[in-house]
Homo-oligomer: A and B are copies of this chain.
Amino acid sequence: MSMNPTCPFPISDYPTVTLAHGGGGALMHQLIDRMFLTAFRNPLLDAGHDGAVFGMNGANVALTTDSYVVQPLFFPGGDIGTLAVNGTVNDLAMCGARPLYLTLGMILEEGLPMETLWRIVQSIREAADRAGVAIVTGDTKVVDRGKGDGIYINTAGVGALTQGRDINPGRIQSGDVILLSGDVGRHGIAIMAVREGLEFESAIESDCAPLAQPVLALSQAGVEVHSLRDLTRGGLASALVEHARTAGVTLRIEEKDVPVREDVQGACELLGLDPFYVANEGRFIAIIPERQGDAALEILRGFPVSEGAVRIGTVQERGRALVRLQSRINAPRIMDLLSGEQLPRIC
């Protein structure tokens, strides 16, 4: 075979897989870029998107996948089933596609209570109904007791693009504005609160929700959407840094304009977390031409899931790939990917 036997990933530096290799930060990106993308190189994979977009007999199709290993399985605002539907549906939406079909692969651990499985199956169905997708094929595996963690779920999603296939970080222009669909940090904090046994006056619920409706409404209204990204592992900050790098641009973000709920901010301080890096499951950024910014915000605010949409920054010069955060006290700070692991198994 034509396989190069030397691995471009520095195996001697990282001889074993660590939790950080799945955390959405720098180590995960290194593993993906230098091992997976190098081995599987092809134009669709290289697009650096949340999913692949290709033509089939004249139809423009989006395809995406995610595995879900969240712990605990149930948390305020959702469970692993809700997540497995919305996470994948949202990746399709971020390609500008209308989500249509999901596959469902379940890896069950011997000893999982059937009642737990049934609760999760019901959540999957309810979330699929809400997102307007059908579960059309699936697979079930069982692993020995102690070789799993109750249940892991993989979903792959297929969506249809009606507006062409040109939503991707490569289209970002200097002068574009960056919109954020609502407050950040809730999903990660909802999970961490359960894990750490934190009590708040009222529970912080995950923001887990399907996002295709507001996204499709933008395109339908004629907004020239350059790029979209949902803010999952690694949070708002990582999504911005990935965008800056893929597009080769500087993004300027106003910290004061990024909404963080007071209870989420408090929990972050208690836990030593930066809310900009905390995972969300119902938030996205949209990068669009400045002239359409106000119209786009108005459209987004018409949907409950994005009623808190705001403008948080702008795309500045080409050529320097970085994210510049203008802080509340007006001190600039460069945002980067976290090198380690902030929140393991958040999705």
Contacts and interface: CB of A to CB of B under 8 A. Distances in A.
A146 B71 CA distance: 14
A21 B142 contact: yes
Given A65-B138, A143-B149, 8 more contacts: A2-B129, A14-B114, A18-B110, A32-B138, A40-B128, A56-B61, A63-B101, A154-B154
A21 B148 CA distance: 15
Given A63-B101, A101-B52, A345-B143, A39 B154 contact: no
Contacts of A115: 11, 15
Interface string A71-114: 00000000000000000000000000000110111111111111
A344 interface: yes
Interface of A: 1-3, 5, 7, 9, 11, 14-23, 28, 31-32, 35-36, 39-40, 42, 44-45, 49, 51-52, 54, 56-61, 63-69, 100-101, 103-115, 117-118, 121-122, 124-126, 128-129, 134-144, 146-149, 152, 154, 156, 158, 160, 344-345
A39 B128 CA distance: 11
21 contacts: A1-B129, A3-B125, A17-B112, A18-B142, A32-B138, A39-B121, A42-B135, A44-B101, A44-B134, A45-B137, A51-B137, A52-B137, A56-B100, A56-B160, A57-B58, A63-B137, A65-B156, A103-B156, A107-B152, A144-B345, A147-B148
B17 A109 contact: yes
Which among A9, A17, A140, A148 has the highest number of chain B CB atoms within 10 Å? Answer: A17
A11 B118 contact: yes
Contacts of A107: 67, 69, 107, 152
A3 B103 CA distance: 20
Which among A2, A52, A139 has the highest number of chain B CB atoms within 10 Å? Answer: A139
Contacts of A152: 107, 141, 143, 152
Given A11-B118, A67-B154, A112-B16, A138 B36 contact: yes
Which among A5, A22, A35, A144 has the highest number of chain B CB atoms within 10 Å? Answer: A22
A121 B35 contact: yes
Contacts of A31: 140
A112 B163 CA distance: 43
A64 B7 contact: no
A24 to B, nearest CB: 10
Contact of A19 (B40, B104, B144): B144
